[in-house]
Amino acid sequence: MADYKEIVGTRVKAVSANPSDPSDGQVWYNSTDEVLKYKKAVGGGAWSSGGNLNAGRRSGAHLGTQTAALYVGGLNTSSPGGTDIVESYNGTAFTEVADIPAGKLSLAASGTQTAGLAFGGEPETANTQTWNGSGWTEVNDLNKARHNHMGDGTQTSSLCFGGEGTPHATLAQTESWDGTSWTEVNDLNTAREFGAGCGTNTAALCFGGGLAPNLPAGSASNELWNGTSWTEVGDLSNPSSYHSGGGTSTLAITMGRFNPSSPIWPETEAWNGTSWTEVADLSTGRYFTGGGGTQGASLLISGQAGPGSQNLVNTEEFSSVFQITPE
């Protein structure tokens, strides 16, 4: 039988941090942790506990990575409206940072912990703000005010799609952000809200979400954006709404969900560019979440564990990177 040396040789790349999106089977030496690590097929991934929010809330927006994130706004248990609270996560603990200018929930966000973009939200707004790591600045509005929408990209190149507009209309409209202004581009094939998305301004996924007139039931529909138009691709394994997503248009993850006919709130699915596969369940099933990151290193924040329950403060982290332990 061939041994490791004969199969892959003796050269293993040394890096100070784990690769952001390693391939299945990839091996590397983490010089900071001083251990050899590998990426296991995503079906072998697992959820673990992360740090708790300081202020429990749901329906906020996540931007950044698993270990360097922001959680923006949301619905605070003690308040009937959206909150302006923003918390920064370092992979261990959350710290409150500068508030967003106006309290809101059901908004979307993109970018990083130090260069972010927040747009739309409830109360119904088209407002857009940029984040520079220490404060927020108002910039040009969306063309269409909305909430319950999806978004992805960077601070200077983002995509906003779907959602709910006035008066209670489920939207298919898509807008593209170039760092200065929003431009209307081609619509989704299926109007939806309370869905999830991931990717970039030129290569994105939109999956699940509520379809009128039965919004809570959710949908399994999945659409791919190529920078010009949306195309329907492989459906989710189960209809979903009020969930979160992360990753890219070819390696995505969806986590947490709501479906009133089947309480599958802990379910997680992974996308390989062609189809979805169910992977490890969350420890605490939830919906109305904020989440993101990559397929192999995701973060799910807060949410609600069931109808009428209190907003959660706990987070969960998904990882499919494992340490090689000598036998």
**CB of 244 closer than 8 Å to CB of 252:** no
Contact 186, 228 (CB under 8 A): yes
Q: What is the pLDDT of residue 181?
A: 98
Single pTM value for the model = 0.88
- The number of C-alpha atoms within 13 Å of 9 and in the hemisphere containing its C-beta is 4
> Is pLDDT at 7 greater than 70 in this prediction?
no
pLDDT score of 153:
98
Architecture of domain 46-319: 6 Propeller (2.120)
Q: Tell me the average pLDDT across 60-79.
A: 91
- On whether the CB atoms of residues 205 and 249 are closer than 8 A, the answer is yes
Average pLDDT over residues 31-37: 74
Q: Is the pLDDT of residue 1 over 70?
A: no
Buried-exposed string 114-153: b where 16+ CB fall within 10 A, e elsewhere: ebbbbbbbbeebbbbbbbeeeebeebeebebbbbbbbbbb
Which H/E stretch holds residue 318?
strand 315-319
* pLDDT score at 39: 66
pLDDT number for residue 180 = 98
Statement: residue 260 has pLDDT above 80 = no
Instruction: Check pLDDT > 70 for residue 43.
Output: no
Q: Mind listing the pLDDT tens digit for each residue in 87-129? A: 999 999 999 999 999 999 999 999 999 999 999 999 999 999 9
User: What local confidence, expressed as pLDDT, does residue 224 receive?
Assistant: 98
Quote the DSSP letter at residue 170: E
Give 197-227 pLDDT, tens digit per residue: 999 999 999 999 999 888 878 899 999 999 9
Question: In residues, how long is the chain?
Answer: 327
* Backbone torsions φ then ψ of 5, nearest 5 degrees: -60, -40
pLDDT digits (tens, 9 = 90+) for 166-199: 888 999 999 999 999 999 999 999 999 999 999 9
| Confidence at residue 76, expressed as pLDDT on a 0 to 100 scale | 85
As a whole number, mean pLDDT of residues 296-317 equals 90
pLDDT of residue 4: 43
User: Distance between CA 31 and CA 54 in Å, rounded?
Assistant: 33
Q: What is the pLDDT of residue 327?
A: 46
Give the pLDDT of residue 308: 76
Q: Return the C-alpha torsion angle 284, 110, 275, 43, nearest 10.
A: -40
In the chain, pLDDT over 90 holds for what percent of residues?
72
CB count, 10 Å around CB of 212?
Answer: 12
pLDDT (mean) for 258-267: 75
Average pLDDT, the chain: 90
CA separation for the pair 231, 53 (Å, rounded) = 37
**Residue 2's pLDDT band (cuts 50, 70, 90):** very low
The whole-number pLDDT of residue 36 equals 76
What mean pLDDT is predicted for residues 35-53? 79
HEC assignment per residue over 106-164: CCEEEECCCCEEEECCECCECCEEEECCCCEEEECCCCCCEECCEEEECCCCEEEECCE
Residue ranges of domains in the chain: 4-38, 46-319
Kindly tell me if the per-residue pLDDT of 277 is higher than 80: yes
Q: Which residues, including other chains, have CB under 8 Å from residue 213's CB and lie 6 or more apart? A: none
Q: pLDDT confidence of 3, banded at 50, 70, 90?
A: very low
Distance CA 37, CA 170 (A): 45
